[in-house]
Amino acid sequence: MAGFSVVEAPLRTIWCPVHYNAVTLYVGQLVVAGGVTSAMCGAVKAWTPAGVYDTTADQMPWGVVVGTNNKEPVFDSTYKAEYITSVQSQANLLARKWAYASTGTGTMFGPHDPQAMVKVAVIGPQTVLKGRIFTTTYGVAPTVVTVTLGSTTGAGYTAGAADFTPVAYNATTYCRTGANRGLYR
């Protein structure tokens, strides 16, 4: 879920609506456009990719949530992040306690628009992101793997089983001890 931050070169930040269908977005979450149909409008979370280069779902992350227009911030203790959930009915929209997100930003949304909105740092090809790495449970670090057979040059090794199935030539190891301590291999 949450856990990304823009380290360098965001294109800009913009306010955009959260998809109307009870979608929850977290600060630090990658977002994609709601889809190609009119039934899918607004920002939604980037879901788990399907297929090589996500050619099955064809989602294109375009930003990282950096804020919400909740007047009173709501915090999720599991994901350690502020969040916002969209609402649908006019009564629920008017009952929301929102901050004037778009005032002075030059967006198409009026300053009194009560819909759930997120501030998004738009990303591009030069943007550098930083993300946390966990196992299948948020907050749980990957298991330490011990080298059982190393080469004399340090270029190759055999190790125990990892928490995931690495793709050949597309995995990185961080060495905590030994001659390669502090290095990525």
Tell me the pLDDT tens digit for each residue of 148-179: 887 777 677 788 888 777 777 777 888 888 87
Plot region of 88 (φ>0 → left; ψ -120 to 50 → alpha; else → beta): alpha
Confidence of residue 24 (pLDDT cuts 50, 70, 90): very high
Residue 39 CA: distances (Å) to CA of 8, 35, 48, 70? 34, 8, 21, 24
Report the SS3 class of residue 95. helix
Contact yes or no for 64/58 (Cβ under 8 A): no
- Where is 152: in which H helix or E strand? none
CB burial of residue 19 (10 Å; 0-12, 13-18, 19+): buried
pLDDT 10s digits, 132-155: 888 878 888 888 888 888 777 767
- Where is 92: in which H helix or E strand? helix 90-95
